């Protein structure tokens, strides 16, 4: 239950109080965007794990490892950014999300191109979010 405390509105006020670049989206935009992205993540990651469990299309542990790491780093971002309120650790974490996302897209591409292609919106947003987080971290040093 402790993790739920990280999702309260009081923790999001920390985001509002940060110095942000002029091109930063408003805080209310993050919820709808992540809702769409988590739907894509759920479908594509679940399908990848299904392929792994059935030993289909050559999907092995090396293929699913970046999926596992990506979801772990993704889940850790909110408690780091809004719970710990640590921009530096959040910047490292979002870089790890981006790196594992690129890795997973490369690892699955030759096995099932659809999974890689469906994750392009996730890649686009995480690329933008990484630049945003790195900028926020720099501006708030």
Q: pLDDT per residue over 113-133, tens digit each? A: 999 999 999 999 999 999 999
- Report yes or no on 85 lying in a domain: yes
Q: pLDDT per residue over 55-108, tens digit each? A: 999 999 999 999 999 999 999 999 999 899 999 999 999 999 999 999 999 999
DSSP string, 74-108: HHHHHIIIIII--HHHHHHHHHHHHHHHHHHHHHH
| 77 contacts 91 by C-beta, under 8 angstroms | no
What is the pLDDT at residue 2?
Answer: 47
- Report yes or no on 77 lying in a domain: yes
Provide the residue range defining the domain that includes 76.
Answer: 60-141
Supply 33's token pair: 């965007």
- Report yes or no on 125 lying in a domain: yes
User: Diameter of the chain by CA atoms?
Assistant: 49
The 10 Å Cβ neighbour count of residue 70 is: 25
- Report yes or no on 12 lying in a domain: no
Instruction: Check whether 10 has a pLDDT greater than 80.
Output: no
Number of domains composing the chain = 1
Determine the Cα–Cα distance for residues 134 and 113; give it in Å rounded to an integer: 30
What is the pLDDT at residue 14?
Answer: 75
- Report yes or no on 76 lying in a domain: yes
- Report yes or no on 73 lying in a domain: yes
- Report yes or no on 116 lying in a domain: yes
- Report yes or no on 139 lying in a domain: yes
């Amino acid at each position: 239950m402790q993790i739920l405390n990280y999702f309260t509105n009081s923790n999001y006020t920390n985001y509002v109080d940060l110095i942000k670049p002029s091109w930063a989206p408003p805080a209310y935009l993050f919820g709808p965007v992540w809702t769409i992205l988590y739907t894509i993540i759920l479908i594509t990651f679940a399908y990848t794990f299904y392929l792994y469990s059935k030993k289909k299309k050559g999907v092995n542990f090396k293929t699913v490892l970046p999926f596992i790491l990506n979801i772990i780093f993704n889940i850790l971002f909110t408690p780091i950014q809004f719970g710990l309120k640590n921009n530096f650790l959040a910047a490292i974490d979002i870089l790890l999300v981006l790196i594992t996302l690129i890795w997973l897209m490369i690892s699955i591409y030759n096995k099932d191109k659809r999974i890689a292609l469906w994750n392009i919106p996730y890649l686009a947003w995480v690329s933008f979010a990484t630049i945003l987080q790195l900028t926020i971290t720099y501006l708030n040093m």
